[in-house]
Amino acid sequence: MTYITVNRISKKFKRRDQITEALRDVGIEIEQGTFVSLIGPSGCGKSTLLRIIGGLETADDGDIRVGGVTPIEAQSDKQFGFVPQAPALFPWRTVIENMRLPFEVNRKGGRQTPEQSEEAKELLRSVGLGEFLDAYPKELSGGMQQRVGIVRAFASGAPILLMDEPFSALDEITREMIRYQLVEIWEKHKKTVVFVTHSIREAVFLSDKIVVMSNRPGRISEIVDVDLPRPRSHELEETSEYQRYVHHIKGLLRERWEQ
Ligand SMILES: Nc1ncnc2c1ncn2[C@@H]1O[C@H](COP(=O)(O)OP(=O)(O)OP(=O)(O)O)[C@@H](O)[C@H]1O
């Protein structure tokens, strides 16, 4: 079932006398419970598109529906969980207290149920943080903090997760490890995820669908359905099917870059 429909949206930013055309005529359909990545050159409008889907920015033209309502309505109905580039944890709260935050902020005073609290702990254990429930963010590495941010989004109750380059500040090895943990969690929870990345390998490994965007003004150059088996594990990256997708997307990006 199509859950998010982006229909021919465009967006320009005006700053003093300068107009930047960020997105032109962009359309995507996102099915419920799928993992969709947005990839493209720097400045092509990936974050803008993510923010428009999440109701944090409005489009100039076109229409977006999220489960039949506008992004702003979906946002006030707490449909979105955001995972930004840097982990947004409160330093004065422990890990487990940070996990409770979405419930306190979003649920109009509603409390996390004991089942939800148990699920939060289970998610933390699944990313190797079972020993750190009572630690403060400053006692964790950057990669550990980002893992808290990711599992918190999964534990938040929001059906749609919007992730804006959540691994960009991590070193290559940590990034790879968290990617494997993310795929495992996602395959268990099957939330609808829109994920912005610069990494072709990461996009192919994680996604059901990859939206390849061209240089500014951001347009869609191709939407690639990734027909690779799940569950996905690191052995997949050695297969020729996986390599073929990587090669294809690399070619699309190179082609657009050279235009
Ligand atoms: N609030 C804003 N005001 C003015 N211009 C903006 C604003 N937000 C984004 N832009 C411009 O819109 C264009 C698209 O920006 P956006 O951040 O969406 O790109 P991106 O593809 O996510 O880039 P990157 O991969 O480098 O993070 C850029 O030229 C940027 O300068």
Tens digit of pLDDT per residue, the chain (259 long)?
899 999 999 999 998 889 999 999 999 999 999 999 999 999 999 999 999 999 999 999 999 999 999 999 999 998 999 999 888 899 999 999 999 888 877 655 567 788 888 999 999 999 999 999 999 999 999 999 999 999 999 998 899 999 999 998 888 888 899 999 999 999 999 999 999 999 999 999 999 999 999 988 889 999 999 999 999 999 999 999 999 999 999 999 987 655 5
Domain spans in the chain, listed from the N-terminal domain onward: 2-79+159-258, 92-158
Compute, in angstroms, the gap from residue 140 CA to the centroid of ligand 1.
31
Indicate whether residue 42 lines ligand 1 (CB < 6 A): yes
pLDDT given for residue 256 in this prediction: 60
Q: What is the 3-state secondary structure (H, E, C) of the chain?
A: CEEEEEEEEEEEEEECCEEEEEEEEEEEEEECCCEEEEECCCCCCHHHHHHHHCCCCCCCEEEEEECCECHHHHHHCCCEEEECCCCCCCCCCCHHHHHHHHHHHHCCCCCCCHHHHHHHHHHHHHCCCHHHCCCCHHHCCHHHHHHHHHHHHHHCCCCEEEEECCCCCCCHHHHHHHHHHHHHHHHHHCCEEEEECCCHHHHHHHCCEEEEECCCCECEEEEEECCCCCCCCHHHHHCHHHHHHHHHHHHHHHHHHHC
pLDDT given for residue 75 in this prediction: 92
Instruction: Report which protein residue has its CA nearest ligand 1's atom 18.
Output: 45
Instruction: Report which protein residue has its CA nearest ligand 1's atom 14.
Output: 45
The pTM of this model reads 0.94
CATH of domain 2-79+159-258: 3.40.50.300
pLDDT given for residue 108 in this prediction: 52
Rounded CA separation 143/126 (Å):
14
Indicate whether residue 32 lines ligand 1 (CB < 6 A): no
pLDDT given for residue 257 in this prediction: 58
Pick from 10, 13, 198 the residue to mutate for probing ligand 1's pocket: most ligand atoms within 8 Å of its CB: 13
For the complex shown, is ipTM > 0.90?
yes
Instruction: Report which protein residue has its CA nearest ligand 1's atom 28.
Output: 43
pLDDT given for residue 235 in this prediction: 94
Indicate whether residue 121 lines ligand 1 (CB < 6 A): no
Compute, in angstroms, the gap from residue 49 CA to the centroid of ligand 1.
10
pLDDT given for residue 209 in this prediction: 98
